[in-house]
Structures are given as structure tokens and as C-alpha cells.
Homo-oligomer: A and B are copies of this chain.
Amino acid sequence: MTSFPTAASKHELEESETLSPRFDAAGLIAAVATDAETGEVLMLAWMNAEALQKTIDTGEAHYWSRSRGELWHKGATSGQVQSVVELRVDCDQDAVWLKVRAGGDGGACHTGRRSCFYRAVEGGRLVEKA
């Protein structure tokens, strides 16, 4: 069972060198992946402790699939493996940011688009963007 330490204080959480992620009631933290080259936000997903540890250990993004209820090695079937260039954690350690290089066709979205965020809200409608 993978486990991480718990920060003893808000100060420790924000200022220490210790990774002490704060998983929510479902055992998850939010993870945002951006393209390491372009900075584009590719996707937002979730990690449990095991997914985070595997991401750190292997250098490839692992998530927790909420819909399938299982550990998800991104790209294992699609080829869109995400090599982690940098992994960051936010101030209160309940979110991580992965700068990645995507393998396969370089995309991240199951719909075939490069980024999952392919629509913008404009004038009350969704408009597809490049």
C-alpha cells in the first residue's frame, strides 16, 4: 500500500521539502497535464496515492480512472504515453501539474483531438478551437 507522509502544519505543507499530498475523501488529487513544449493544457485527471507514486517511479503519467475505477497508465493502449518532464505540486498539496511529452500521435484526448480542452465558451455557446 503506497503512502505519503502527512504535513504537521500549514507552514510545513507550503514551505517544506516534503511531498505530503492531501488526497480528498475519495483518495484523489487533481492532476493537470500540459504539453512541455507548447504549454497547452492537454487534460485534467485524477491520481490516487498509487498513481502518483508510479508516476514518480516510472517517469510516465499514471492516473486513477474514476469512470473505470482502476489505475490508468495513460497511453498503455492508445500509445499516448506521457513522459513527465517536470512534476510540480501546489501550495496546499492537493493538486499536481505535469509537464509532459506525449508519445504516439502526440495527443491526449480520446476524441482524437490533441487537447481535451478543444471548445471555448463564447456568447453562450461552445466553439471548437484549433
Asked if B126 contacts A44 (CB within 8 A), the reply is no
The answer to whether A71 has its CB under 8 Å from any CB of chain B is: no
Interface size on A, residues (CB 8 A): 40
Asked if B14 contacts A126 (CB within 8 A), the reply is no
Known contacts A32-B41, A44-B95; decide if A89 and B117 are in contact (CB<8 Å): yes
The answer to whether A130 has its CB under 8 Å from any CB of chain B is: no
Chain B residue contacts of A113, Cβ below 8 A = 91
The answer to whether A34 has its CB under 8 Å from any CB of chain B is: yes
Asked if A124 contacts B19 (CB within 8 A), the reply is yes
A31 to B89, CA, bound (A): 16
Asked if B126 contacts A89 (CB within 8 A), the reply is yes
Chain B residue contacts of A111, Cβ below 8 A = 14-15, 91
Using A32-B32, A88-B117 as known contacts, list a sample of 14 further A-B pairs with CB atoms less than 8 Å apart, ordered by residue number in A.
A14-B111, A15-B111, A18-B125, A19-B124, A30-B30, A34-B34, A41-B97, A44-B90, A86-B120, A87-B120, A87-B121, A89-B120, A90-B117, A91-B111
